[in-house]
Amino acid sequence: MHIIGECRVRDMKTLFELLRLMRPYQWVKNTFVFIGLLFGHAWQDTHLVMQVVIAFVAFCLVSSAVYTINDVVDLEQDRRHPKKSRRPLPSGSVSISSAIMLAALLGVLGFGFAYFSSPAVLVILAGYALMNIAYSFRLKHVVILDVFIIATGFMLRILAGTLGVGIPPSQWLLLCGLMVTLFLGFTKRRAEIIALTEDKTSHRKVLEHYSPVLLDKMIGITAAGLIMSYSLYTMNPDTIRIHNTPNLIYTVPFVMYGVFRYIYLLHHQSRGGDPSHDLVRDHHLLIVVGGWLAATIWLIA
């Protein structure tokens, strides 16, 4: 009985480590697929809602497969990283063969769900997976392009929840999405430079091409672009006609506060490297995002 108990404990620990390897906390990024339902006024269409939910599940599974592959590729660099060395693969709690099998299983399940959602979602998800695999092996070392690829991943999520299920995407929606994802991408690189003050290129080679001054300029440009594009979107005549309200302009302060708070966290609390963690850990961000979402739903619903 004692041996059986030890085996069960070991199996539970293995399952927990495999779950950690999947990074489920990162699934919050896949909520971008729901943007089309909200701003396309399609939440009352049960069939569309189910399609988008299935697309969300597909992105969660495939994105976890991509994270697993990336951890296998970056194994040696992660072992030298102060925080990433505690991940399942660098710490040795999960073997490389187990990680590869997990990635394959997640990929098969994810593409199956995508096809069940719609063939268009399957094509978009395949593009997302191929792009991220190329990113893991090569493109993450190309300065500026690396951040645009991160942003493109978010844009593909938006397209899966719009074009993928037959909801026409707004040009303003795509522009705002691009600005916010570029902003998050450049803040991520800036946070990495802050965290890795010594020998940063051994952890991520592309960081040798970035400097704090350059990244601060790019963050400033994308932050301004985000605020301006969203503000113009709320005042656009088509937006007012589609949502039947001129009052979305009153949600702009939520966006401004969120952007400024994120920049503050980046420079004064050494955050910004992981938006998923930052959103949960910072009460200000959590409240402002919740307030923006509640106000937006109340105004357009």
Residue entry with tokens 């400024």:
260
CB atoms within 10 A of CB 134: 12
- Of the three residues 118, 136, 167, the one that is the final residue of a domain is 167
Q: What is the pLDDT of residue 65?
A: 93
Joined together, the tokens standing for residue 75 give: 């194994």
pLDDT of 63-81, one tens digit each?
999 988 888 887 777 677 6
Question: Is the pLDDT confidence value at 61 over 70?
Answer: yes
Q: Give a yes or no: residue 5 inside a domain.
A: no
Question: Is the pLDDT confidence value at 8 over 60?
Answer: no
For residue 226, which of 159, 154, 167, 281 has the smallest C-alpha distance? Answer: 154
Joined together, the tokens standing for residue 199 give: 């020998």
How far is residue 248's CA from residue 230's CA, in Å, rounded to a whole number?
Answer: 10
Joined together, the tokens standing for residue 124 give: 């978009």
| Beta carbons of 231 and 181 less than 8 angstroms apart | no
How far is residue 297's CA from residue 301's CA, in Å, rounded to a whole number?
Answer: 5
Q: Give a yes or no: residue 10 inside a domain.
A: no
CB atoms within 10 A of CB 138: 9
User: pTM of the predicted model, to two decimals?
Assistant: 0.84
Same domain, 89 and 128: yes
- Of the three residues 101, 132, 167, the one that is the final residue of a domain is 167
Q: Give a yes or no: residue 8 inside a domain.
A: no
| Residues constituting the chain | 301
Confidence of residue 6 (pLDDT cuts 50, 70, 90): very low
Burial class (CB in 10 A: 0-12, 13-18, 19+), 12: exposed
Q: What is the pLDDT of residue 271?
A: 63
Same domain, 27 and 154: yes
- CATH code, domain carrying 22: 1.10.357.140
DSSP string computed for 139-205: GGGSTTHHHHHHHHHHHHHHHHTTGGGTPPPPHHHHHHHHHHHHHHHHHHHHHHHHH--SSGGGT-G
Same domain, 299 and 209: yes
Confidence of residue 105 (pLDDT cuts 50, 70, 90): very high
pLDDT of 176-234, one tens digit each?
989 999 999 999 888 888 776 655 555 567 888 888 899 999 999 999 999 999 999 99
Q: What is the pLDDT of residue 273?
A: 60
Q: What range defines the domain where residue 224 resides?
A: 170-301
Q: Residue 256, SS3?
A: helix
Lowest mean pLDDT among 6-10, 50-54, 288-292: 6-10
For residue 157, which of 18, 30, 60, 42 has the smallest C-alpha distance? Answer: 30
Percent of residues in the chain assigned helix, strand, coil, to nearest 5: 85, 0, 15
